[in-house]
Structure 1
Amino acid sequence: MLVITLFWIVFVRYYALCESSYKGVDIGNSCQYDVECILGNGGEYSKCNRDLMICICTINHRGEDQCLPDSDENYGFCRRRELFESLKTCTLECSPKGTKIWTENEDWNGEIMQPFSQMIHDKKTSVCYDPRRALNTVSDGFEVKQSSIPDSGLGVFTNVYIEAYTVLSVFKGTFDPEVDDVSSIYSWTIRPQNGGDVYWTDGTNIAQSNWLRYMNTPITAAMENLIGIEFQERIYYLAFRAIQPRTELLIWYGGSYAQFLGLEPFDHPNYLINRMPGYAGGSCEREWKHCENDKNTICADGFCLCRNGTRQREMICVQDEELGGYCVGFNGDTCKQDKHAECQRGICVCKNYSVPTNGKCIPDETFGGRCKESNGQKCLFDNKTECANGVCKCIFGTSAVGGICKTDEAYNGICIGNDGDDCELDENAECMNNICVCKENAVPINGRCIKDVQQKTKV
């Protein structure tokens, strides 16, 4: 009897609570229980998210004022652009969690490419609404504080050394292709390479922009240390010279902005001074392609920059983990792209038994490497080479092909005949473009061309 009485007491209280205490809660507003959301505009397709404690649409349902089944007719209610504008629209991700799952190369602004080396990325923030996003994206080693430029408010300072040609993130903001002009002082003009309509990226809203918006314009040419470059319809900030710690980052935003601030115009420095066209740091013309004299580069807005995975050394871009390139191992670790190189203080150098030659580390006593024998004597580890003034060179009757001494007029060796002529030292090889290759009825085996018996039998 006591058990039954307790049951009715609990039931009556729970029923009364459902009827009198629960109030309808609309999508995006704070909640504690699912029933609150069901009684709100989300209806039966809504629930209370336990992580965010706000009402969201359940999985496979989408909507704004109400939750509707996912279908072609209702497609588009959940718009990703609105994820960053307010807490309410942040919840409309059409999933039980109500938030957007990050992918490897994506942030709240969408997919961010890293085409350049030495690129400094934003610190990641909430993929949904963040009212202080611009401040929360400041990368490590930088800070936003009072600018050194009079009457300019906040500015960005670096606390670390920045190498020349370092790329500082991407300018992020909002854009509306329907807007013909933007009067904001926090905007950049985008001119698509395909000739599409000009539009503007606006960083006015700190909830929908990043830390680059706080960088001010210089008042003299000597203070300028950054420039904006447009690449694939995004604006990147480029350090055109090395920048010392405790320096404010300053970029020229154009004449109209200078006029707005009442600044006197000045001549800009020659960013390409002492840099050869087609080389890293120099000028280039083929946008989005590699520069004329360096395949490890990429042409962006007339500047020849190093591709991701390489670093600039003088006027060339060197691949990471190979001779002269950057490495991430401990001192003495073998570099990943050159087994004869080792990591020393973050740079790949040749191991003690090898010597740098044409961008590679060549072992001693092999072709191109050092030798200790007298002139004319065979090198220890390569019987097709001989020592000549301390360097291993190909012996008579052989020539270097692909960094290896190959016998002339034999398979893979140099030949002097016309295309189709037999190679003198291999009857089953023929000369093609001055290299001996196997004839159609032969295959290479152990350095020689052998007639293909299986093919002959089939015929």
Structure 2
Amino acid sequence: MQYIFFFLLSGNNCKDSGKTSPRQKLRFDLIYIRDSQIIYPSLVDPNSYALATAPADTVYIAKSSLPNAGLGVFASRRIMRFSYFGPYGGYKRNPHLNQGTNSYAWNVPDKSGNIMYQIDASDPKSSNWLRFINCPNNFTQRNLMSLVYHGDIFYLSIRNIEVGEELLVYYGDAYADKLGIDTKKFH
């Protein structure tokens, strides 16, 4: 086990615009689950690169259980509470440039809560499997939370996740509104 400090992203920060809410400093005994290493990236179809990074002994990617969500990530073995994944793969972009909205981009705040940059995972050639984790339709479905550590986004399991269960993280109120999710269920 290792100890590590994370800053919790509030539900109003994740994939939202603007400033973040105050963050909490948290300490956990953590289990780190690494991405699969791709030894010969040139042998992987660039459009499948993100899929190939999924840790095959822990998760698999298949059609999401959520309506109209596309692909989702499912546990292939029991994932213990306080397991964490990441960092969220993608390229850093300036959130202040008009680059359109992107459902694969996370805002990364500085210590004051101002958005420093976004991590954009829209390109499967430069991202990882975390891009396939969806937003739940209600609070009880959520089994992950997002965290910022040294400018990177990580996902932390908030309870044990059973075999076959879809991994789900709340994206934040603004994004949930776009999906038609009742955000009152998350507060």
TM-score, normalized by the shorter chain, greater than 0.5 = yes
Instruction: Note if contact 1:193-1:233 (Cα within 8 Å) is conserved in structure 2.
Output: no
Residue 256 (str. 1) matches residue 169 (str. 2): no
- The one-letter amino acid paired with 1:122 is D
Q: Which residue of 2 aligns with 1:332?
A: none
User: Percent of aligned pairs with the same residue?
Assistant: 28
Shift, 1:268, TM fit: 3.2
Q: Which residue of 1 aligns with 2:37?
A: 124
Pick one of 171, 194, 202 that aligns with 2:120.
202
Pick one of 74, 79, 82 that aligns with 1:165.
82
Residue 243 (str. 1) matches residue 170 (str. 2): no
Superposition CA RMSD, Å: 2.4
Q: How does 1:56-455 map to 2 (within 5 A)?
A: 117-125=30-38, 126=40, 130-140=46-56, 141-177=58-94, 179-180=96-97, 183-193=101-111, 198-268=116-186
**Once the two structures are superposed, what CA deviation does each residue of 1:405-452 show, in whole Å capped at 9, x if it has no partner?**
xxxxxxxxxxxxxxxxxxxxxxxxxxxxxxxxxxxxxxxxxxxxxxxx
Q: Which runs of 5+ in 1 are unaligned?
A: 1-114, 270-459
**Once the two structures are superposed, what CA deviation does each residue of 1:131-172 show, in whole Å capped at 9, x if it has no partner?**
321111010221110000011111000011111111122111
Shift, 1:207, TM fit: 0.3
2: CA distance between counterparts of 1:209 and 1:266?
Answer: 31
1: CA distance between counterparts of 2:95 and 2:166?
Answer: 35
1: CA distance between counterparts of 2:156 and 2:79?
Answer: 11
Q: Which residue of 1 aligns with 2:21?
A: none
- The one-letter amino acid paired with 2:68 is D
- The one-letter amino acid paired with 1:147 is S
Structure label with greater radius of gyration: 1
Question: Any idea what SS the aligned residue of 1:190 has?
Answer: strand
- The one-letter amino acid paired with 2:49 is R
2: CA distance between counterparts of 1:195 and 1:217?
Answer: 23
Q: Which residue of 2 aligns with 1:88?
A: none
Q: Structure 1's 195 and 240: CA in aligned 2 closer, same or farther, altered over 3 A?
A: closer
TM-score, length-normalised on structure 2? 0.75
Question: Any idea what SS the aligned residue of 1:117 has?
Answer: strand
Q: Which runs of 5+ in 2 are unaligned?
A: 1-27
Higher relative contact order (CA 8 A, sep 6+): 2
Q: Structure 1's 116 and 185: CA in aligned 2 closer, same or farther, altered over 3 A?
A: farther
2: CA distance between counterparts of 1:135 and 1:260?
Answer: 26
Question: Any idea what SS the aligned residue of 1:152 has?
Answer: coil
**Once the two structures are superposed, what CA deviation does each residue of 1:169-206 show, in whole Å capped at 9, x if it has no partner?**
21110113485355100010011237776210000000
Instruction: Note if contact 1:174-1:209 (Cα within 8 Å) is conserved in structure 2.
Output: yes
